[in-house]
Homo-oligomer: A and B are copies of this chain.
Amino acid sequence: MDHIKTSDRLLLLSDEELSRRLGHIDAAMTASGLDSLVVCSATNTYYLSGRVFCGFAIYIKQLRRILWMVKRPAQLKGEDVIYLRKPEQILDCMNTLGVTPSVLGNVGLELDEISYNHIQRQATALRLKTWGNADGVLNIARATKTPYEQSLIRQSGISHEHVYCQIPHLYREGMTDIELQIEIERTSRLEGCLGLFRVSGPDMELHMGNILAGDNADSPSPYDFAMGGAGASPSLPVGADGTILRPGLAVMIDVNGNYTGYMTDMTRTFTVGDLPDEALRAHEVSREICRELADMGRPGIAAKDLYERAVAIATDHKLEHYFMGHRQHAGFVGHGVGIVINELPVIAPRSKNILQAGNVIALEPKFVIPHVGAVGIENTYIVQDNGPMQCVTNAPESIGILGDNQWA
């Protein structure tokens, strides 16, 4: 199939890379008792093939074979690639590819991500009586990033850092939080940011990022992000609300790091100047929590132990009332990051996740100080085989002065 030009080749992953991903998937399938997966979401078609396409990827573990049923774009080619117009043709397509339905065994469908009606339609097309959850399997598999996926994340981290280092220069006196965000968005896009912010779950949506100045950091939001903000419209009540940036306010900047299809997540705190001592102190405690959790974060440790350690440090410093919000508190201090911003593991009190080498985790121990705003940092880390987690978002961690050239 070497004659197919790259733009028309369905499978963009190397054999070695696909084999590694299938290794993670096989382990999770064995644990869950599934024999095959039927996948159609953008995130999971991308994970399996290296490109988003419209159609189905059907993975049959026993055969170690993926059947690619493509609706759009129709010109895609490769081994086991077949054109399909609608889900009702899945069994016919399998037949054409010489695969009998009985080898599917226990089938997993994407029950967490795909709508009820689409799942029913798929199950009917496949003549299934019962089915399991492919998302359970794929979320576990995707939590352990391959070396190639890690390299894409590192690459995003470098671009993300370049953008953050420009933030102090983007400020002009009298700017609102929204105006600063717009300049950061432009700088991000010029640096190669794809813009789209993939987030999982029915309650989650955001445009590119979240900038919170002053008391807006304490405005509760409907979304399950670490911080909220009133936003600019009741149709999207999150983030910047038009607050004018002035001395004495903390400006927390948490913007999109999707430069490669794999995201990094990073937050830094800025100010025009004159933050009260308590805010400066809380910011240093956030850095301390990140350092300590990065050191603890090794294969085999429970995610909930990281969370508890973070709370303990905040409490030691008598900052627990401000930790992860003040009027409304987030129930986690970190989360996996990858194709989507909220992957496994979840660093939360009731998390059952155990860290593994190759997990990529954003830690965001943040504090909301009344009348000042949100302070603290967020970094993305890769869990190593040995030693502390490795940070891939290496912008300076001190509070940046907007308008100043000397952030470090």
* Residues of A in contact with B (beta carbons under 8 Å apart): 7, 12, 40-42, 46, 50-55, 71-75, 109, 111-120, 133, 178-179, 181-183, 185-186, 189-190, 192, 194-196, 198, 202-203, 205-208, 219-224, 228, 230, 232-237, 260-261, 327-328, 339
**Cβ–Cβ contact B115 & A224, under 8 A:** no
Residues in B whose Cβ lies below 8 Å from that of A230: 7
Given pairs A42-B222, A54-B223, 8 additional interface contacts (CB within 8 A) = A41-B202, A51-B234, A52-B234, A73-B328, A74-B220, A115-B116, A178-B189, A195-B208
A178–B189 CA distance with the chains assembled, in angstroms:
9
- A-B CB proximity, top 8 nearest: A235-B261, A195-B207, A73-B220, A51-B234, A116-B119, A54-B222, A196-B207, A111-B116
**Cβ–Cβ contact A194 & B116, under 8 A:** no
Write the nearest CB–CB distance from A372 to chain B, whole angstroms: 20
Residues in B whose Cβ lies below 8 Å from that of A189: 178, 181-182, 185
A275–B120 CA distance with the chains assembled, in angstroms:
49
Q: Would you list 7 pairs from A and B whose C-beta atoms are within 8 A, ordered by A residue?
A: A41-B202, A46-B235, A55-B222, A72-B220, A109-B116, A115-B202, A185-B195
A179–B190 CA distance with the chains assembled, in angstroms:
7
Write the nearest CB–CB distance from A288 to chain B, whole angstroms: 29
Write the nearest CB–CB distance from A341 to chain B, whole angstroms: 14
Name A224's contact: one of B54, B185, B219, B232 (CB within 8 Å): B54
A40–B232 CA distance with the chains assembled, in angstroms:
22
A55–B113 CA distance with the chains assembled, in angstroms:
18
**Cβ–Cβ contact A261 & B234, under 8 A:** yes
Q: Report the nearest B residue to A72, measured CB to CB.
A: B222
A191–B232 CA distance with the chains assembled, in angstroms:
12
